[in-house]
Amino acid sequence: MDTLSLGATSNLESFIEPAPVDCASNCTYQPFRFDWKAGETIRPESASYKPLVAYVLEVTKPKAKAKDISAGTGLPGGFFFEVDLHTLRPRIGVRSNELRITNSEPRYMLHLRGRSDVVVWDAQYRVPGRTTTRYCIEVKTNEGMRNKNECLREAFLQLIGLNAYNDYKSPAVILTNLTKLHYVLYLSLETNECGSLLKYNLNIHQFSFFAHALWFAEVHLGDRQPCCRDLFRAATPVATGRQQQEVTSDVTEDRDDQYDNVVLEERSAGHK
């Protein structure tokens, strides 16, 4: 978050903005809401995945497919994404050899791996991957959403894992309790008149209904042009394990963050 000029200790709730006004009037999706209570019993989060996937498949066909990946079954190592994160380039499209002249090439920072609960990807592909993902959905129970800032941080890490140096897609993440709280997180690239990189913006929109959040992610963001090609990308050729450990002096030692579905950590010495 520091690298993106967002502030490592920022309360992500401060980034929340109202939903675009056209969502309520233009959304064509039928409503969806999950009842977390079954009599006196509170259902587990996993109980929502099957009806959620069925709903997404119904309203987005024939354009998208959806799948429950919460348990990591069938994923390499149980992870949907696993990426090394490097410092940002000073401007978009600059070549690595130019950066080396000024000793400003991207330097290794952190390793991020994880998954979300549900992935939605382009229907023409048989299996999902980072480069075919339209967006992911992170589900929380009503109790699990009580600490909204922590939930938003987990969704933010998923957003970075999906978008880091992704040449083909810039997926969004929907964070929802499937009742009253629904957020869509996505990154956008802010450039000046010459097209040089200024910064990446974190956008968080709050929606009153899950159908509106899904419609926004699918219709407004699903097919947009990718904007994260250089986000946290390593220098070319890829730095050696020794070079990757040469992090900046202002990086703190305590860098591990662990949530239900994502882990952010420093790599062990000698790892390539």
Domain ranges of the chain: 12-265
Q: How many whole angstroms separate alpha carbon 159 and alpha carbon 164?
A: 8
Phi, psi of 53 (to 5 degrees): -60, -45
pLDDT in the model for residue 99: 65
Residue with tokens 């992935």: 119
pLDDT in the model for residue 252: 35
**CA dihedral sign of residues 262, 266, 269, 272:** positive
pLDDT in the model for residue 96: 63
Nearest to 129 by CA among 82, 85, 63: 82
Nearest to 204 by CA among 259, 149, 258: 149
Task: Tell me the three state secondary structure of residue 244.
Answer: helix
Length, in residues, of the chain: 272
Q: How many whole angstroms separate alpha carbon 215 and alpha carbon 237?
A: 40
Higher confidence at residue 69 or residue 103? 69
Model confidence pLDDT, tens digit, residues 198-232: 678 999 999 999 999 999 999 999 999 999 988 99
Is 141 within 8 Å of 41 (Cβ atoms)? no
- Calculate the average pLDDT of the chain: 86
Q: pTM value?
A: 0.87
Distance from chain centroid for Cα 25: 27
pLDDT of residue 253 exceeding 60: no
Segment 21-46 shows an average pLDDT of 93
pLDDT band at 26 (very low <50, low <70, confident <90, very high): very high
Q: Which residues pair with 100 in a beta bridge?
A: none
